[in-house]
Every structure is written in structure tokens, then in C-alpha cells.
């Protein structure tokens, strides 16, 4: 049995950083930028007006100017502005040569082709210099998960295709004679496969491409058939059948198929029978079958592995701290990930911690982490948690 930290270190050894692919900008949101990208232009590319008004050379209350033309967005005024001249200008339009400020339209009175500047003139120049936002050679640095704001910035930089990490393809396999798919009619001894669906959702949300394999039954032939469908997956996740019961065939069958095991048991609650290794080209993780165990291991192990494959670094799930609002007893020899509720007041562990209770997981928004042999804790003491 190894520690959670050691297990994560071994998982990272098995997890390759995936290749770079180029995608159209419209498909880049949420993807991981894989290389620094550089602007090939200045924004704005010319000094631009920040307001609707008149471009002039200096101005003071009482000054009169003759309007000699117009500069609109997309249609510049071609000439120069000299003393005593003004060009009608609109937001985003190029400021003509010779002008050093824009007098906003509220600050002038217009009479035919002339304007007079009023008292209380707003002193700001209202000109955005060329390259005010970013300049040729400005970069967006990798790695980063691209946000909608980043997409707008890349568009503005005229970057139409974006180098991103390929999404890890993850094959998800439930195992068990008792399982049927949601929507089917279960027999009297059957339950619905839930783990693969929860993990599918978790994986989709963090940039992986999950694929649902058929449910493998608890016999070697069925397991081999389904293992035969993993195709080009980067990661194969099996669920259940990983303990040492008579029907727990995942480890022996995987070994028969050539899986090189890295570890099999981890000192944690829930989730002890966790296994990992290399199976052909793919990495394999065998998760425990109990639904909460599978989901907790998804957060604690699978999510960091996906981030590592996406080039976001080999780091455990980020943790926060909060004060306890209910006391906790002493912890045993395994790290404990307790389903918990965190509010502005602090955090408390759910009363029922059985690893089969999806209703409790659903009502939780945090995994409160108890270190190995952590002593009893009082209300007000700060504890670490992983937000869900």
C-alpha cells in the first residue's frame, strides 16, 4: 500500500504530455494553449478617437474652429488638421494628422461649418495611442486554459488558428454482472451503472474526451472483449472488479493482456483498491467500484493526470482551507477524503461517510482532507479541503 502522494507521483510518470494540434479559433475556448502566440499587429493600429467629437490642435473655451471634414470608424480623413481647423470624428476612427486631442461633442456648439468650444471643457485628450492595447510581438503565454476573454484577445491579434494540446481520449469501462445502463430496466438483482456517467461528466469538464465502453461482465472473456475496444485511448479507466474477491478479475485479465502494473493499493479512504499501470500504448487506471470511491479518486487522481497530459503541470488538486464548524474525531492510518459542506461560516463533514452514498456526495461541495493519523480537531481549527 502506498501513500496518496506516492501514487500521484507514479501516475505522473505514466502520463505523457500530449501533442500539439492547431484548431480554429471558434473551437479553442476551454482548450489548453500549448505554445506562446504573438500578435502580428498593433491594436489599435492607429491613434484612435475614444469619443464622438471633433479632432483639433489644442483647444480652450471660446476657441472657434472650421469643420473641414469627417473621420469615421473604417473611413479615415485623409488630410491634416491645422490650427483653427476641426475634423468631425467618431469613436474608433483614426485621429487625423496634426490633431492632438478630441473635444467631445457635448463641449462645443456647432453652427454650420464652425464650432465654438464651451466653458467647462473636459481636459482629457480622448485619443487612444496606436498599440495602446497590445503591440506587434505582444504574446499570450502558454500553458493556459483559454477563457472567452482570451479568445477575444486572440481574435483581436488576428490569430485565426490556435496551437493547443490534443484532448486526452479516455475510455471508460464499468465492470460487473449487476450493472445496467441508465434508462434500461434492471432485473431484481441489478443496479444502474453510475460511476462511468459521473466520471464522463468530470472528464468532459476538464478538457478530456471521454468515451463510454460497453459494460464488461465479471468473466475473463467479456473483460477481454471490452479491453479490445480501447482503440487509440490515451487513458483507460476501469471501474470495479479491482479488489481481491472471487469476481474481481480486472487485475489478472489486464496482466494477461500485458499490463505493467505500477501499484495496486493506496492508503486512502475511500478508494483503497486503486491500481495503475501501462497497457500497450495507453495508461490504465483501475478505480474502485463503490460510486463515491470512484468519484473521489476521479477528483484526487484522474483530474491531475488529465491536467498533466494537457501540459498544465504535474500537481495535485489545489486545496483551500476553512475553519471547522463541527468537531472531527482522530483519523486512522489512511488519508481520509470526507464529503463535506463548505459555507461562508466554515466547513463541516457530512454525518454519513459510507462510500456508496451518492446522495451525500451530491449534497457536498468539498472533500475535507484528513491527513494520516490527524488528531481530533475542534470547531474553529482550519482544515484543508478540495472544492468539488
Quote the least distance from Cβ 11 to ligand AMP, whole Å: 20
CA angle 362, 350, 304 (to 5 degrees): 60
Residues from 222 through 281 that contact ligand AMP (CB under 6 A): 239-243
Nearest Cα residue to 241 out of 262, 230, 226, 231:
226
Binding to Mg ion by residue 291, rule CB under 5 A? no
Contact 307, 235 (CB under 8 A): no
Mapped onto helix, strand or coil, the DSSP state of residue 302 is helix
Residue 176 as a binder of ligand AMP (CB under 6 A): the answer is yes
Answer yes or no whether residue 360 interacts with ligand AMP by CB under 6 A: no
For residue 196, state whether it binds ligand AMP (rule: CB under 6 A). yes
C-alpha cell at 50: 475614444
If the CB atoms of residues 168 and 176 are measured against Mg ion, the closer one turns out to be 176
Question: Between 276 and 315, how does the x/- string for binding to ligand AMP read (CB under 6 A)?
Answer: ------------xxxx------------------------
- Contact partner at residue 21 from ligand AMP, Mg ion, none, CB < 5 to 8 Å by partner kind: none
Site for Mg ion contains 176 (CB under 5 A): yes
Work out what residue 179 binds among Mg ion, ligand AMP, none; the CB cut-off runs from 5 to 8 Å by kind.
ligand AMP
Residues 116, 194, 317, 365: which binds ligand AMP (CB under 6 A)?
Answer: 194
**Cβ neighbours of residue 229 under 8 Å, at least 6 residues apart?**
171, 213, 214
Positive or negative, the Cα torsion across 22, 25, 30, 36?
positive
| Of 240, 286, 288, 304, the one binding Mg ion by CB under 5 A | 240
Using the minimum distance from each CB to ligand AMP, give the nearer residue, 29 or 243: 243
* 3-state secondary structure at position 370: strand
Contact 289, 275 (CB under 8 A): no
- Which of 7, 86, 146, 179 binds ligand AMP (CB under 6 A)? It is 179
H helix and E strand count, the chain: 8, 28
CA nearest 213: which of 221, 223, 204? 223
List of residues contacting ligand AMP (CB under 6 A): 174, 176, 178-179, 191, 193-196, 239-243, 288-291
Amino acid at each position: 500500500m502506498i501513500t496518496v502522494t506516492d501514487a500521484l507521483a507514479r501516475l505522473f510518470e505514466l502520463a505523457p504530455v500530449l501533442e500539439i494540434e492547431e484548431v480554429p479559433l471558434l473551437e479553442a475556448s476551454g482548450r489548453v494553449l500549448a505554445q506562446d502566440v504573438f500578435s502580428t499587429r498593433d491594436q489599435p493600429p492607429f491613434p484612435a478617437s475614444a469619443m464622438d467629437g471633433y479632432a483639433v490642435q489644442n483647444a480652450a473655451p471660446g476657441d472657434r474652429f472650421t469643420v473641414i471634414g469627417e473621420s469615421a470608424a473604417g473611413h479615415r480623413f485623409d488630410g491634416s488638421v491645422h490650427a483653427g481647423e476641426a475634423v468631425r470624428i467618431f469613436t474608433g476612427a483614426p485621429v487625423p494628422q496634426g490633431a492632438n486631442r478630441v473635444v467631445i461633442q457635448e463641449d462645443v456648439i456647432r453652427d454650420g461649418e464652425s464650432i465654438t468650444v464651451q466653458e467647462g471643457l473636459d481636459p482629457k485628450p480622448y485619443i487612444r495611442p496606436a498599440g495602446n492595447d497590445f503591440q506587434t510581438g505582444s504574446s499570450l503565454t502558454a500553458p493556459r486554459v483559454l477563457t472567452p476573454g482570451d479568445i477575444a484577445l486572440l481574435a483581436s491579434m488576428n490569430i485565426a488558428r490556435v496551437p493547443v494540446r490534443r484532448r486526452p481520449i479516455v475510455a471508460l469501462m464499468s465492470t460487473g454482472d449487476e450493472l445496467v445502463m441508465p434508462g434500461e430496466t434492471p432485473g431484481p438483482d441489478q443496479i444502474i451503472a453510475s460511476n462511468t456517467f459521473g466520471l464522463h461528466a468530470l472528464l468532459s469538464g476538464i478538457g478530456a474526451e471521454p468515451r463510454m465502453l460497453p459494460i464488461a461482465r465479471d468473466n475473463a472473456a467479456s473483460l477481454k472483449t471490452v479491453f479490445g475496444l480501447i482503440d487509440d485511448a490515451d487513458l483507460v479507466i476501469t471501474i470495479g472488479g479491482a479488489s481481491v474477491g472471487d469476481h474481481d478479475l480486472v487485475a489478472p485479465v489486464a496482466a494477461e493482456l500485458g499490463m505493467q502494473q505500477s501499484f495496486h493499493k493506496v492508503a486512502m479512504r475511500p478508494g483503497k483498491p486503486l491500481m495503475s499501470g501501462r497497457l500497450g500504448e495507453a495508461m490504465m487506471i483501475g478505480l474502485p467500484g463503490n460510486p463515491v470511491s470512484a468519484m473521489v479518486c476521479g477528483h484526487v487522481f484522474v483530474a491531475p493526470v488529465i491536467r498533466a497530459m494537457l501540459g498544465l503541470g504535474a500537481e495535485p488538486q489545489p486545496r483551500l482551507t476553512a475553519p471547522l464548524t463541527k468537531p472531527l474525531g482522530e483519523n486512522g492510518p489512511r488519508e481520509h477524503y470526507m464529503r463535506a459542506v463548505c459555507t461562508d461560516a466554515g466547513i463541516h463533514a457530512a454525518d454519513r461517510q459510507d462510500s456508496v452514498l451518492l446522495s451525500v456526495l451530491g449534497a457536498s461541495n468539498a472533500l475535507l482532507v484528513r491527513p494520516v493519523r490527524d488528531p481530533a480537531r475542534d470547531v474553529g481549527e482550519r482544515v484543508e479541503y478540495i472544492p468539488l
